[in-house]
Amino acid sequence: MRTFKIATLYQISFIACCILILAIIYFVASGLKPCPMCLLQQLGLICLTVISFIAMIHKPKSTGVRVYSFLLGLIALVTALIAAKQIWMQYHPEQYIGSCQAGVDTLFHNLPFLGFVKSLLHSAPGCETVDWRFLGLSMAGYSFIFFIVFSAIHFWQFLFFLPASQFSHLKNQERKDHKDGRLY
């Protein structure tokens, strides 16, 4: 199985996350206000950026690659699920209009942390409205695509990573089999 070069994978992950953060800064500066579910997706993006940066600096070996890839894949998957929930809310707005009248700051100060996160996921105000579209997709749609692809790449790396020593051993065995005329 082919896997990605470790240093390159974490560098690309870090750069992609930084580009998305710059895009978020641009949209906020241009006047778009993020809803609570957008804020949760942004928190997931920041976590992915930090972990990608740490992995890029750390340059892990076999076990470390699997740990970083699993962590990145899991966080990206959870964030993709949040984006999917927001897309659902956008396509079925009649179920969510006015479901929560309290602002995010009021919820944060008056609820325990897990209750705050639960209230954001169940009845986030303003998440059903679409303020921006490009090619028919909302920002949540693009977030979902990014996080699913990010998750799939890192779970692939987690499942099929071979250390360089094992990979070179397999290549040598393949060459030997080819010379002997044994093709499988």
pLDDT digits over 50-100, tens only?
Answer: 999 998 888 777 788 888 889 999 999 999 988 888 777 777 666 655 544
Task: Give me the domains of the chain, ranges plus CATH numbers.
Answer: 6-177 (1.20.1550)
Burial string for 138-151 (b: 16+ CB within 10 Å, else e) reads bbbbbbbebbbebb
> Residue 129 in 3-state DSSP?
coil
For the whole prediction, is pTM greater than 0.75?
no
Per residue in 129-163, pLDDT (tens digit) is 667 666 777 777 888 898 999 899 888 888 776 65
